[in-house]
Amino acid sequence: MLDITQHINYHHTSVFNILKLTLMKLDIQHRSDIENVVNVFYEKVKTDETIGYFFNDVAKVNWDTHLPKMYDFWESILFETNVYTGNPLLKHFLLNKKSPLTVAHFEHWFVLFEATVDELYAGEKATMMKSRARNIATLMPTKILN
């Protein structure tokens, strides 16, 4: 039989463990998880003071077509499905011709992207997504700004 102190400690530990499990983030496992990251990320981008301008005013992004392309892009990277067709390097090269991009823009893009992944998911695929995004943010300016 538990005395009252043991009962309180047991109950506190159980509640704590339930809360901890509730707060634990899952890894990216499905395309729907990718869609979630992309949608949350681009909602931030649309109103971002640093890079929102490129999407809203320069590229005048059609979100109905852009978002599914981004889902395909990230699905191809994370799950090796090869569903993405496109040339992101060319798109950014043309965008840079319209309005100059800087390394700082790509770095800011990455900071927003990484924060979005971190607030939603944790695990191997989430880490891979952030790593690939870091590579993009590092390599893209070296290819289009030089």
Whether residue 11 lies inside any domain: the answer is no
Taking the C-alpha atoms of residue 21 and residue 35, their distance in angstroms, rounded to an integer, is 24
User: For the chain, first and last CA: distance in Å?
Assistant: 75
What span, in angstroms and rounded, lies between the C-alpha atoms of 80 and 33? 15
DSSP secondary structure letters along the chain: ---HHHHHHHHHHHHHHHHHHHHPPPPP-SHHHHHHHHHHHHHHHHT-TTTHHIIIIIS---HHHHHHHHHHHHHHHHH--------HHHHHHHHHHHS---HHHHHHHHHHHHHHHHHH--SHHHHHHHHHHHHHHHHHHHHH--
Higher local confidence (pLDDT), 145 or 102:
102
pLDDT at position 62, please? 98
Residue 107 within a domain: yes
Residue 65 lies in a domain: yes
105 found inside a domain: yes
pLDDT single digits (tens) 58-95: 999 999 999 999 999 999 999 999 999 999 999 999 99
Q: What is the pTM of this model?
A: 0.83
The model's pLDDT over 85-143, given as tens digits with 9 standing for 90+, comes to: 999 999 999 999 999 999 999 999 999 999 999 999 999 999 999 999 999 999 999 99
* pLDDT tens digits, one per residue of 16-46: 555 554 468 999 999 999 999 999 999 999 9
Number of separate domains in the chain: 1
Residue 77 lies in a domain: yes
DSSP 8-state code for residue 138 = H
Q: What pLDDT shows up at residue 9?
A: 54
CATH code, domain carrying 87: 1.10.490.10
The per-residue pLDDT for 146 is 74
Let me know if residue 118 belongs to a domain: yes
CA angle, corner 73, sides to 26 and 67, nearest 5?
85
Question: Is 4 a member of any domain?
Answer: no
Q: Is residue 44 part of a domain?
A: yes
- The range of the structural domain enclosing residue 35 comes to 27-144
